[in-house]
Amino acid sequence: MNENSTDYLLSDIGAPFVIGLAVGFFAKKALKVALFLGGMVIVALFVTEYYGIADVNDESLKQAANAATDAARQSGGFLSDRLGNITGKGVSATVGFLAGLKMG
C-alpha cells in the first residue's frame, strides 16, 4: 500500500467513520438521558396524582409522548442526512453513525 492510498483511507474513509461513530454514540447517550428525565417527570406526575395534588390527563400524556417521538425521529434523520454529506458517497460516516448507535 503506497502513501497516497493510506492518505485516502484515512481522510476519505477513516475520519468520516470516526465522526459518524462519535455522533452516533452521543445521540444514543443523549436519547437515554432524555428518556430517563422524561420517565422521571412522568413518575412525578403519577405521584402527584396519587396524592391528589394534580390530575393527569392520559390523552395529553399520549400526545406529549407522540410529539417527543416525532422530534427524536426528525433529529435522527437530520443527523444521518448531514453525515451523508461529509464524503462523496457518505457511506463511511453513516456506517460510523450506525456503529455509534449500537455502541452507545
> Where does the pLDDT of residue 82 fall: very low under 50, low under 70, confident under 90, or very high at 90 and above?
confident
- Residue 4 has what pLDDT? 55
- Report how many domains make up the chain: 1
Q: Which domain holds residue 46?
A: 3-103
Number of C-alpha atoms within 13 angstroms, CB side, residue 29? Answer: 9
Average pLDDT, rounded, for the chain: 84
Q: What is the pLDDT of residue 15?
A: 83
Summarize pLDDT for 7-58 with one digit per residue, the tens.
555 566 788 888 889 999 999 999 999 999 999 999 999 999 999 999 999 9
Query: What whole-number distance in Å separates Cα of residue 97 and Cα of residue 50?
Result: 42
